[in-house]
C-alpha cells in the first residue's frame, strides 16, 4: 500500500506541476500531458482495484 500511495502522490505532483506550467506559459501541451497522466493513473487504479477484488474473492472460495 505504501507503493500505491507513493505512485498517487507522484501522479498528483505531476498533474499539479503540468497545470501550473500551463497557467504560466499558456501552452496547451501541458494540459494534454496532465490529462494523459490522469488517464493512465485512472486505468492503473482500476486494474489494481480489480486485482484486489479478485484476490479477496479467491480467499473467500
The residue written with cell numbers 489494481 in the block is 48
Number of domains in the chain: 1
Cα distance between residue 61 and residue 51, in whole Å: 15
Could you report the per-residue pLDDT of 2-55, keeping only the tens digit for each?
999 999 999 999 999 999 999 999 999 999 999 999 999 999 999 999 999 999
Q: What are the φ and ψ backbone dihedral angles of 50, each rounded to 5 degrees?
A: -65, -40
The pLDDT of residue 49 = 95
3-state helix, strand, coil in the chain (%, to 5): 90, 0, 10
Q: Which residue range(s) make up the domain with 29? A: 2-60
Amino acid at each position: 500500500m505504501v507503493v500505491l500511495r507513493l505512485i498517487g502522490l507522484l501522479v498528483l505532483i505531476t498533474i499539479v506541476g503540468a497545470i501550473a506550467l500551463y497557467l504560466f506559459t499558456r501552452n496547451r501541451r501541458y494540459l494534454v500531458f496532465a490529462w494523459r497522466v490522469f488517464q493512465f493513473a485512472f486505468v492503473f487504479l482500476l486494474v489494481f482495484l480489480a486485482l484486489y477484488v479478485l484476490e479477496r474473492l479467491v480467499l473467500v472460495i
